[in-house]
Structure 1
Amino acid sequence: MASEKAESINDKEHLEHPSIDEKQEDVEARHGVLDIDAARPDQLSAVFENPLSGVPKDQLMKDVELFCQENDLMDHLEVMRKGALASKEPWNVDNIPELTEEDRAILHHERTNKWDQPWRLYWLVSMASLAAAVQGMDETVNNGAQAFYLEELGIKPSTRFSPDMQDNLTGLVVGAPYLACALIGCWLTEPLNRVFARRGTIFLSCAIAAIASIWEGVANSWVNLFIARFVLGLGIGSKSTTVPVYTAECAPAPIRGALVMQWQVWTAFGIMLGNIMGVAFGGLRPDLAWRLILGSTVVLPVIVCAQVYFCPESPRWLIQHGKIKKAYESFRVVRKTDLQAARDLYYTHVGVEIEKKINTGKNIFTQFGELFSIPRNRRATWATWIVMFGQQFCGVNVIAYYSTTIFQQGGYGRNPALLASMGTGILNWVFALPAFFTIDTFGRRNLLLVTFPFLAITLLWTGMSFFIDPPSKPDGVSTSKARLGMITTGMYLFECFYSPGMGPVPFSYSAEAFPMHVRDVGMSWATATTWCFNFILSFTWPRLVSAFTAQGAFGWYAAWCVVLWVLVLLFMPETKALTLEELDQVFSVPTWKHSSYQIRNSIWHIRRYVFFQKNLEPLPPFYVGADKLMES
């Protein structure tokens, strides 16, 4: 089969260029297998194939005119033709006679000034960022609040429950939102998005968050608090799935990673705010403090609900649902010029039509099955599972959810522990900001490969610091500055290395990895993965510390960081600076080919930078354009 595909690709060089319909048939045939090899079997490269590249100009112009007639866009026919030509040969805009000098200047300016975008695009990103901050606060206000409500609600210490039961109840209440996310919330994404679109789903999820916040603040028992936090998870699940996808579908390819990663940057900001709330209200009487800490999260979701409908709907969602004219208006809002909007509209339309032709009549259950049955989708599913699992089992939410308790176990009093926890939140946000500039230049893979070793080291640092001068007083407060300093430094350094790597990458990567027709289901899978393991981590941490001690518990997650480094190296393709359509080709490269190249690449870097062998022949790039590959 692989040899037949290689021959078919080589044969295309000598065939007459097909029409768009014929092109779709070719793509449909390839999607039945989706293991797309390079043009030459001896070359380890992924070919980016533009679905318009083989369409003759006359045929393309007829297709564009028909497209405009069918979608009431004849008033925009001229700019649509220019946009189609620009999307057909984006590297050759200087030689397209239909483009004016002004048109060429626009397209060149886009490449050299990638941050020069419409203010409405940045307004959309700010709304998405606030939605992320909602989630960050929802996650970490519990960190400070549990220092009060565990005792106030009779969970810990308690004469009613055994020590094991106390640990289980603590983990259950802390992890309730993430259990709801994994079981229900994330899987509501597809039906909610189908009915209410992206903006409507964001509105509903934030409304649920606001209601649950008030409920948490007035809970009168641990059972009531558990139910309130479970309901909170229904909003977190669909919001965390939809917002990154919404941003990815609206963002231009050159800055898509930077804009989508704002989800994590501002989640980190919300985490910081949650820790600040613990300090702000921690000085009040205990029965009031935890209620105000938990209830403080009501403000941000209300702001998002008021803002979301001032943003445009996702143009890709509109195209998928046959609302082409509205999609063009949406693209005009988030692109600088009509030419760019027309280009992206037509290019996206062609990609969506190909996918529709391939996937006609498939329901949500069929789509879920295709996450595993189709090789292209299976590779995306596996890669997103790795990064989403890794975001939890690198150990970050041990610190996010239990840092106050950990600092108290290390020897801090309650109020100093709340202040120290606030420091982890501040560092989490501050050190996420550099990824804004590196995620689309340095790349998703490289950020993880560089930071994972440091995560392992800092977790071991923190765990081993508990060996230093254990507290001798009954209240558990340590007088050892060395012990407190080492534990604090280890946790703070962990945040410094987590935030620019494992923080922003998983949601950005997952939002772009799946093709349009399974994107909602694929993102549901990815976010359900992270919330499932989030619940496992939050539920098991108290028991893990009891069984392994703090040293063993931190060492457990340090070991996982090493395992995750290997998994990222072998099974996670790079996606930076490519359109969502080009990523089909990235994930169509056979796994063995990607893994073997990355092993060779690792050996090359070890020889070059560890053993200083300076005269090594550079490896060829793994991803190249189809035109460059065929020229070679």
Structure 2
Amino acid sequence: MAITFTVGGSPIGLTSISVALVASVGGFLFGYDTGQISGIQEMTDFKERFATETIFDSETMMTEPAFNSWLIGLIVSFLSIGTFFGVLLGAPIADKLGRRLAMTVETIVFSIGVLIQVTAQYAWYQVAIGRLVSGLGVGALSAAVPLYQSEAIPSQLRGAGVATYQLAITFGILVSNCINIGTRSIEGSWSWRTPILLGVAFAAVLGIGIWFLPESPRWLAARGRHDEAYEAVARVRGATKEDSNPWVEAEYASIITYVQNEAKLKKAGWIDCFRPQNKTLYRTILGIVLQAGQQLTGANYFFYYGANIFNSVGLSDSFVTQIILGAVNFVATFGSLYILERFGRRIPLMVGAIGMTVWLLIFGLAGHVGNPNDPTFGSLMIASACIFIVFYATTWAPGIWLFIGESFASETRAKQASLSAASNWFWNFLLAFFTQPITGDIDYAFGFVFAGANFLGFFIVYFFVYETKGLTLEEIDEMYNDDSVKPWQSRKWAPAGRANRLDIAARVRDEKTDDVLNVEDPQHGHWKSQPNSEGDETDTARKRREEPISKTEDA
């Protein structure tokens, strides 16, 4: 018998945890590739091979290789260029091949990019091209992973489950920092080749491990593979397809109903993401804006500029700086797993926006108006940076990826997720390329720019983001199509016929095991009912078998 646990009165299987953790390796790859370059560019052999300029060191009285700020910005940002195009390819790949096969293909693309980088000898552009190819894989994964997690994980655990994607990003950054500090003393090129090459091993964990988990039941049902879809729903609930489990039956019925209704519509294309009907355009634009807003929170500003901040109090080892910031980011992200499930989506995003605004203002004032070389101001800036990261890591970092995974209608979900993530990577590229030159001109006042963006983000969330906690993906789509509900009222919304959202769980939980929901099996064209413990149909089951499926949706 499978091991299960209860969340919100709902049975959840260990497979749900596995789906969250294994798929989130896609986020780990992005974090790992992002974090490693900041340390690799400081390694002696890497600079000797690829730097195009020299500087004079007054302490050693010798010249040493150095990167032009624009050139290193180009090498760093090539990953973001790849992710921008990769995420646009992620939607058709995930829809065509299925979520699991798509992720495997994308890990192979990532690994090809790694091999291009580690075989570079003296051409900096080969490293950049390798990062671009790896970015194609990472970008496609950024569309496929949250999509797969949101479709496969039960709604009672979806917030924490999808948040593991962001947790994995932060863990990847931290691991890459630790590996860099461990390999920097190696003589020769393996000081930088080793951390890059290890990316292949991490990619294999996802590319192979995903095949031990079920495919997205919604993707399976949409392609007529109903038996597999039912089995996938059962596995994440800790049941088997032979069990008479009311939770599995209810969720499967909801998926089948939605797929049947969707089948009546024409196949959606990219242009359909921009149609105003059913708030599709509304959700597309909101996804694009929120993903841009996640980058404009200023988090990457601290990761790019962190060494200078910590230098103000005498901590000059940039490798140690990266580990400190990465550790704060990683540890704080654990809090999001609880916060997003306990408080929903809207409140954490609004609180996070205000918290980040306040601490960015304190940081900017301490650095721009005060004296960062003064230990008091320097300590305040360090504290501000760390507290800012705590607010970011517990709210906007995972919360925006969660929005992408659960807020779009099924027929356009993959494409809208790709467009939204493309916005993230576009702004990621801009920050990666321009942060160093900008900070050289306006120093710590850059924090004021991000403070303004966060303040605007508060109002965007309040007026436009709907609360989706506790709803299935199909119910979320229903909520968006209910013209009577406004975003700031959405916490109280429940599907028709329900007193509140908790009533959804109560109605299913109170079902008797011998009185289960019967759903239409489109594969065979007849009604399917589960027998009771005596092997006979119950009266309720017989009655439901004769009713249209819309009558049984609320079970």
Task: Give TM-score scaled by structure 1 length.
Answer: 0.70
Paired positions, count: 479
1:621–1:572 CA distance, 2 compared to 1 (3 A): closer
Within 5 Å, give how 1:565-580 maps onto structure 2: 565-580=458-473
Equivalent-residue separation in structure 2 for 1:628 and 1:303 (angstroms): 42
Match of 2:249 in 1: 342
Give the deviation of 1:166 after TM superposition: 2.9
Alignment pair present for 1:326 and 2:228: yes
- The percent of aligned pairs where both chains have the same amino acid is 24
Match of 2:61 in 1: none
Match of 1:136 in 2: 31
Q: Write the letter of the residue equivalent to 1:130.
A: V
Within 5 Å, give how 1:512-523 maps onto structure 2: 512-523=406-417
Match of 1:31 in 2: none
Equivalent-residue separation in structure 2 for 1:294 and 1:460 (angstroms): 37
The correspondence for 2:262, drawn from 344, 347, 355, is 355
Cα pair 1:181 1:233 within 8 Å, conserved: yes
Cα pair 1:144 1:293 within 8 Å, conserved: no
Q: Write the letter of the residue equivalent to 1:385.
A: I
Match of 1:33 in 2: none
The correspondence for 2:209, drawn from 307, 314, 321, is 307
Query: Could you give the per-residue CA deviations for residues 67-99 of structure 1, whole angstroms, max 9, x where no partner exists?
Result: xxxxxxxxxxxxxxxxxxxxxxxxxxxxxxxxx
Within 5 Å, give how 1:603-622 maps onto structure 2: 622=492
Alignment pair present for 1:226 and 2:96: no
Within 5 Å, give how 1:587-602 maps onto structure 2: 587-590=480-483, 594=486, 597=488
Give the deviation of 1:212 after TM superposition: 2.0
The correspondence for 2:292, drawn from 389, 396, 401, is 389
Give the deviation of 1:373 after TM superposition: 3.3
Give the deviation of 1:413 after TM superposition: 6.2
Equivalent-residue separation in structure 2 for 1:349 and 1:423 (angstroms): 48
Q: Which runs of 5+ in 1 are unaligned?
A: 1-105, 160-164, 472-477, 599-619
Give the deviation of 1:315 after TM superposition: 0.8
Match of 1:623 in 2: 493
1:434–1:281 CA distance, 2 compared to 1 (3 A): same
Equivalent-residue separation in structure 1 for 2:223 and 2:180 (angstroms): 45
Alignment pair present for 1:510 and 2:510: no
Give the deviation of 1:383 after TM superposition: 2.4
The correspondence for 1:261, drawn from 131, 144, 163, is 163
Match of 1:190 in 2: 91
Give the deviation of 1:157 after TM superposition: 5.2
Please report the RMSD computed on the Cα atoms of aligned residues, expressed in angstroms. 2.8
Cα pair 1:420 1:488 within 8 Å, conserved: no
1:250–1:463 CA distance, 2 compared to 1 (3 A): same
Match of 1:417 in 2: 318
Match of 1:146 in 2: 41
Match of 1:613 in 2: none
Equivalent-residue separation in structure 1 for 2:150 and 2:493 (angstroms): 21
Equivalent-residue separation in structure 1 for 2:325 and 2:279 (angstroms): 39
Equivalent-residue separation in structure 2 for 1:111 and 1:224 (angstroms): 49
Cα pair 2:160 2:340 within 8 Å, conserved: yes
Equivalent-residue separation in structure 2 for 1:404 and 1:156 (angstroms): 22
Match of 1:533 in 2: 427
1:582–1:224 CA distance, 2 compared to 1 (3 A): same
Match of 1:235 in 2: 137
1:254–1:140 CA distance, 2 compared to 1 (3 A): same
Equivalent-residue separation in structure 2 for 1:283 and 1:463 (angstroms): 35
Q: Write the letter of the residue equivalent to 1:552.
A: A
SS in 2 for 1:498: helix
Give the deviation of 1:466 after TM superposition: 3.2
Cα pair 1:158 1:166 within 8 Å, conserved: no
The correspondence for 2:269, drawn from 349, 352, 364, is 364
SS in 1 for 2:473: coil
Query: Could you give the per-residue CA deviations for residues 494-526 of structure 1, whole angstroms, max 9, x where no partner exists?
Result: 211111101110111111111111111011111
Equivalent-residue separation in structure 1 for 2:362 and 2:42 (angstroms): 25
Query: Could you give the per-residue CA deviations for residues 506-564 of structure 1, whole angstroms, max 9, x where no partner exists?
Result: 111111111111111011111111111111111110121123x2222222111111111
Give the deviation of 1:461 after TM superposition: 3.1
Give the deviation of 1:467 after TM superposition: 4.5
Give the deviation of 1:460 after TM superposition: 2.8
1:424–1:156 CA distance, 2 compared to 1 (3 A): farther
Cα pair 1:140 1:271 within 8 Å, conserved: yes
Alignment pair present for 1:117 and 2:48: no
Q: Write the letter of the residue equivalent to 2:24.
A: S
Equivalent-residue separation in structure 1 for 2:179 and 2:328 (angstroms): 16
Give the deviation of 1:242 after TM superposition: 0.5
Match of 2:474 in 1: 581
Equivalent-residue separation in structure 1 for 2:135 and 2:407 (angstroms): 24
Cα pair 1:452 1:561 within 8 Å, conserved: yes
Cα pair 2:74 2:433 within 8 Å, conserved: yes
Equivalent-residue separation in structure 1 for 2:366 and 2:193 (angstroms): 33
Give the deviation of 1:421 after TM superposition: 1.4
Query: Could you give the per-residue CA deviations for residues 372-413 of structure 1, whole angstroms, max 9, x where no partner exists?
Result: 4324212221322232111100011223344346545x4756
Query: Could you give the per-residue CA deviations for residues 344-385 of structure 1, whole angstroms, max 9, x where no partner exists?
Result: 222201111111212x2x3533xx333343242122213222
1:501–1:469 CA distance, 2 compared to 1 (3 A): closer
SS in 2 for 1:336: coil
Cα pair 1:118 1:333 within 8 Å, conserved: yes
Give the deviation of 1:155 after TM superposition: 4.5
Equivalent-residue separation in structure 1 for 2:53 and 2:175 (angstroms): 26
Within 5 Å, give how 1:91-102 maps onto structure 2: none
Give the deviation of 1:277 after TM superposition: 2.0
Cα pair 1:171 1:538 within 8 Å, conserved: yes
Q: Write the letter of the residue equivalent to 1:129.
A: S
Cα pair 1:386 1:568 within 8 Å, conserved: no
Q: Write the letter of the residue equivalent to 1:344.
A: E
Match of 2:352 in 1: 451
Equivalent-residue separation in structure 2 for 1:333 and 1:521 (angstroms): 27
Alignment pair present for 1:217 and 2:118: yes
